[in-house]
Structures are given as structure tokens and as C-alpha cells.
Structure 1
């Protein structure tokens, strides 16, 4: 079958699969009151359902998979999920986004299962700020886990930092020092409006363009984007081992290079993080002989994907918070 493509010519080799909506942190921009389970919600996909889902997507050209949450390590069978995903023919890059709370204890176990890329949320290099943003004084332990991943020669190690005005938007000098000797990428992400964070968004949203200007003035050079890359615009500098990426969803033509689809923990296909609907796929994941039906179901829906999101209009779709869909 030809690679999955929409009516705008965009192809989708990259799938983000949430395995659980729960999170053990209380980040101010996502779940400031902590996670509260919905007692009426469906259970998350099983290992067998995940395997069938991934086989269907690889038939359609997916080869990069990112496991997300909530916080994926909250799920007790995460290692088995990684092993299951790594065993699916066609999955060549197995990544995960995590808050790093179990990194020092589980890193080697996850790598043995097939994990070969990791993004760790580190919203500040200042211990007090980190604790204030996340609700946990865990910065030193998490950074130790990042160093362990580098020492273990994890092929791709990146850090995610959500930019918050008057909170952590003045830390570029500290990050530059951190990147001087570490072969790690840091992604600065513009705060995004979701269904339940409008007052916080208005108080703390800051555009990333000013940061990009500082980088260019400091001699950082933009890199060409590879086909299965995430949404960041990447920069490098000859004096630094690490790289910097900018994720600016409010910038012009941000969605023109979209190459990823999302599936929620309960099996709903989301064509956009901020879309107005989810497409239930779970009915096609109950038996091995349903893969063809799954592929056709996905193919029939892809042209419903919009050319762009509607964040500029304040429309956030059905995403109440980033943990609900995996960010």
C-alpha cells in the first residue's frame, strides 16, 4: 500500500501513541491540580490491541513511533509495551516522551526492550523553578537520568522545556552552558492554549521568535529538517555539543510540515492535537484478521485532516489538557 497521505500532500511516517492519560506530576501548564481519573472512562489499550494497531500503521508507511502519556511510566507494563512495539516489523525508531521520574531506575530496562530515543521534560534548570512548575523537587534526579542515557549512548536524547513568560523565559544562558559539552538537544516549546488553561495561557504565553533571534545573533545556524522529524526548527553551533530546537505552533505555516498522527490511550485516532473529533479504532483491534479493516478505516478518514489548527482563533478542539492526548 502507498504511504498514508492527506489531500494536501502531507505524508505521515510518524505516530504518537498515548498509553495512559494519567500523570504523576502536577505541571502548572497541564495538570495543576493533578490527574483525576474518570471512573466511566474506557480502559487503555491492551498489549495485543497495541500490536495490531501498530501493524496496521506500519502497513501504511509508519516507521517512527513515539510512546506518550500522560506519563507513560505510570503504566506498569510499559516495558512490555516497548518490547511489543519494537517487535513490530517496520518500526525503526522507537521513542518515548517522559517526565523522567523513573529514568534512573528503568532506563536500561527500557533500552533493552528496544527504546532508542527519549525526550525528557525539563522545564527549568533552576531547582526551585522546576519544583514550582512540576510540583516535585526532582530536578537533580532527572538530570542524573539524562546523563545516564548519554553515558549509555542512547541514539537520541532530547529535553523539552515549555516556555513560560516571567517564569523560565530568561534561562537561555544556563541552557547554553548545559549544552556546551552534552550531545543532547533541548526543545523550547511555546505554551499552547488548551480547553482548560485560558487564564494561565494569557498570563504566561510568550512567542519563541525572540529566542530564535537571540540564537541567530549568537551564531547558531538553522538545520535542514529530515522527513520523519518532529515539529521543531533545529539549530546548531560549532562551539556547542548540543543542539536547540524551537517548537512554535503559533508561527506562520507551522502545520505545513505536519507528518504525524496521534492515537489516544483508548484507541481513538486524532488527526490533529487540537482537532474537533476522534475516530474510534478499537473495534478493528480485536483480532489479528482485522488488520485490513483497520487500514481501510484509517485511509477513509485521513482526508478529514485540516490544513492547519485553529489556535489563532482560540479554538482548541476536544483537548482539555495536553495529558489527555499526549501533547
Structure 2
């Protein structure tokens, strides 16, 4: 089992397969994707070797991320490969949903178990203002198709921002009442290039938590492979609410996930200074033992916590770098 010096065990890998994104979200890539690094992304064989090593070390959940993973034409093959590896119990996907309506059946047929889609407003005009694309109606149709295809674990991610969508909280909750999705409100995070935007738009998740508790929502018990969200349910709602609050006390205590960039660098935290290059150990099948040893050794350097609350963002200039 992958375990760090604090005793935290890592059942969950967030695997970026591209850093390219076609949206221009105000909080992430307001000027669009800038091609400022190699686009020699991990191949299907390299992904197979990587996931095999993690599975041998106790990882049971793979979340495929980007950039925007839907831009890779071989995404169905990547899903199928990850799902076929012994020990991998769950394959999830995080996407902006731009081609969800057209591709969801292929992804489900390939073995996809759960889906996270970003919807930063339920108002078409505000959605377009935040993302730069008029895709809201197509994404909503895609979510309905995902449910029809048999996908039960569907999450909707929303970054609440003071100057954009913070006043839509009640609208989101009303929308969730008859939909069996988990709606996750994510605190805006400070990165290397958004200091002014962060100061103007950060909304504390704690205020939302207190509102939910006051309105009769109750906490859900966490699963070992669950992500960082605190989840809540209400007897009058089909859906659940999740809060991702990286500025909250003890946020990192339950950390159970590692990140691999699309260029083969292991990131021990979303906000670390440098990734650890593992690419050279992904070239041949007979390197698996060496790769496992390298992964275990790397965990010795994982720190107890990020320093976001102190304004330290490490080497993360924007969240598309390694999939958030």
C-alpha cells in the first residue's frame, strides 16, 4: 500500500491525459490554453504501465482528468485499459462536458463508472460569460443521456464566485431537488496567476455548510476512496451536496489521492513546487518493479499539508496544468 510518513494511504490517482483545454474559464484559463510546453502526452501503453503499478500498490480508483480529457480521441481506449487492470475498482472522468452529448455512450460502454461535469451556472448567459462557450443546454442533455446509459455516479462541479454566480446557490439547490446528482461547490483556489481575481471572487464554503445544516441537511459518511468533498444529504432531495473547502482546518488530514501529469510527472499535492518525473520508468513492461519502488520512495517527501491558507501556491500557475 502507498502510505506516507503521516500514515495516510493512497487509494486514489488523478491521472491527467492532456493539459489542453478548449474552454476559457475565468478562474482557470481566462486567456485560453497557451501551448507553452511539450504536448508529448502519455501514450496508452505508458498509461497501462502506470496504472498497473499503482494498482499493485493498493490504488483502487482512477480519475481521468485534463486539461479536457474529452479532447483525446483515444479516451474510450484509456477508460477501457484502466478498467481492465486487476485491482482497479472504479474509473471516473472529470470533463467540461463539451462533447458529453455525443460521446457519453462510448465512455460508458468502455467501462466508465462515474462522471464529474463542470457547470458553473444554470443560466446560459452566465455560463457563456464564465466559460467562453454556449454549451450549457448540450451539457444538460448529456447528463440526462449519462443517466439513461446506466451511469449512477454523476457529479456536477461548480466554482462559486462572488462577482459571477454566488447569488445562484438557491437556484442550484432547487434544480437538485429532483435529480440524483451530487452537486459540488468548490472554493475558488488561489494559483500563481489569479491573485487579484481570487481576492475579488473567493466565496467561503463554510458559509454554505452552515446554510445547509440550518436547512436540515446531514453529513454523509466518507468512503475510503472518496475525494476531498464533505457531502450532505436531505430527505426531501434526490441529490446530494458536496463542499470542497481547501482553506478549511484539517483539509489535508484525510488526503488519499496522488496526481500524475500528462507528461508523466508525479505530483504529491496539487500545490507542490515540482513534479517528480516518472516518464523514464514507463517505457517497458519489465520496469514495473522499479516504478513501484520509485513511487513508494516518492511518498517520503509528501508534506502534511499544502500552504494555501498562507498564500503559498507552489508551482501551480493554473488548475488545468494537472487537472485540479
- 1:225-244 paired onto structure 2 within 5 Å: 225-244=222-241
* Aligned counterpart for 2:170 among listed residues 160, 173, 186: 173
What is the alpha-carbon distance in structure 2 between the residues aligned to residue 126 and residue 211 of structure 1? 20
Cα separation, 2, equivalents of 1:206 and 1:104: 31
Match of 1:267 in 2: 264
Which residue is equivalent to 1:52? 49
User: Tell me, which stretches of 5 or more residues in structure 2 are unaligned?
Assistant: none
Distance 1:305 1:124 in 2: 35
Three-state SS of the structure 1 residue aligned to 2:247 is: coil
Question: Structure 2 CA distance, aligned partners of 1:75 and 1:152?
Answer: 21
CA separation in 2, counterparts of 1:220 and 1:70?
A: 33
Deviation string, structure 1 residues 272-312 (Cα, Å, up to 9, x no partner): 00011211111111100000000000111101001000111
Which residue does 1:37 correspond to in 2? Answer: 35
Contact 2:157 / 2:184 at 8 angstroms: preserved in 1?
Answer: yes
Partner SS state of residue 150, structure 1:
helix
TM (norm. structure 2) is 0.98
Q: Distance in 2 between matches of 1:256 and 1:135?
A: 36
- Alignment partner of 1:94 is 2:72: no
* Structure 1, unaligned runs of 5 or more: none
- Shift >6 Å, 4+ stretches: none
The 10-residue stretch of structure 1 (94-103 or 73-82) with the greater mean CA deviation from structure 2:
73-82
- Distance in 2, matches of 1:149 and 1:231, equals 24
CA contact (8 A) 1:94 1:114 kept: yes
Q: How big is the shift at 1:42?
A: 5.2
Report if the CA contact (8 A) 2:108-2:149 is conserved: no
Counterpart CA distance in 1 for 2:238 and 2:270 is: 32
Shift of 1:153: 2.2
Q: Does 1:75 align with 2:72?
A: yes
Contact 1:150 1:183 in 2 (8 A): no
**Residue 274 of structure 2 is aligned with which of 269, 272, 277?**
277
- 1:21 is aligned to 19
SS in 2 for 1:118: strand
> What SS does the aligned partner of 1:170 have?
helix
Task: Tell me, yes or no, if the aligned pair for 1:21 and 1:71 is still in contact at 8 Å.
Answer: yes
- SS at the partner of 1:255? coil
Distance 2:304 2:78 in 1: 32
Q: Distance in 2 between matches of 1:60 and 1:17?
A: 16
1:106-155 deviation per Cα after TM superposition (whole angstroms, max 9, x unaligned):
00100111111000000111111111000011111101111111222202
1:70 Cα offset (Å): 0.2
> Does the Cα contact within 8 Å between 1:47 and 1:81 map onto a contact in 2?
yes
User: Residues of 1 paired with 2:2 and 2:253: CA distance?
Assistant: 16
d(CA) in 2 for partners of 1:206, 1:45: 35
- 1:35-69: per-residue Cα shift (whole Å, max 9, x none)? 0112x525001000000000000010001000000
CA RMSD of aligned residues (A): 0.9
